[in-house]
Structure 1
Amino acid sequence: MKTLLLGAFALCAMFTPAHAVEPLKKKPKPTVLYGDWAPGKTFTYTVSEVTSEATSMGGSPQPVPVPKGIPSYRVGDVVKFTIGKKGELLGPKGLKIAFKAGSLTSNHYINLPKRKAPTPHFAFVEKNTTTTEPEGGVALTFFQVKLGKRGAGATSTVVNYSLN
């Protein structure tokens, strides 16, 4: 019986193609895309407009300098963006906004409020609907809320950047 099984096994081995017994090779991991873009992708835009306004309770918005903690860019600055390992939008001067969603026409980035960073930041990057490449423009919006002494008199600052 053993001889018969051994013979059957030998016969099968003779007719098995050599490539079928090669060790299996690991398939490379597919590249994860975030709104059609892979980590490491870079693109540049030029700042075309900057607004920074603060509003106190009951008051109207007043122009103010960009506060500390918010990236400060000027009209004409060339900003190089990079897509991070987790799809986040990275840029100079501490810019890091998490990837939230991609669509046919744009990618959206949002830092949701947390205890240490209680105000959200938003970014919107337009893209070509055919090539999926960044095209059109970038909008960045930053918020900062500060309470006055003893929790009274909150001041809200909004900084908007348009890049083309």
Structure 2
Amino acid sequence: MAFWKLHNIRAFTGDVAASSLSSRLILLVNERADADIEQIIGVCLEHLAGWQIVSVSQTAQELVLPLQQKPDAILFNAQLSRQYGLSFVQKRIVQQIRRYPLTQATPILLLIDTAHWMTLQQMESLGIVGAIAKPFNPVTLPEKISELLGWDKP
């Protein structure tokens, strides 16, 4: 069973009146529960960029998304191996994300150790917009995400 941690209750309830119009909703999908990296990413995106974060940890075969509104982007924090990375992404994450109506067309970014060996063609074939290599600079993470997605800098 997947479990999730809600960083910002407005993101879950859909109460956008209380948030600024420039705020973005980011779905953070963690391959496994990793409170430290989840907290770092959450703090960076919420406090430096002013984005709302909904965090989901993948702990079983099924991914459950606790969403009531469409996220602007999905950041998938993965531990991929060179041998099995692409099939893992496609089967266990991308396909599961794409079956939800709210996330079918949402851009996906990978946050992975092995970003250097994935080609743009490999990522595009999976519907992935880009990859950010770990370790990443927490201060520039919102700018890097904005750059990959073609958004104005936060």
Q: Which of the five TM-score ranges fits, normalised by the shorter chain?
A: under 0.3
Compare the two structures and name the one with the higher strand fraction: 1
Q: TM-score, normalised by structure 2?
A: 0.23
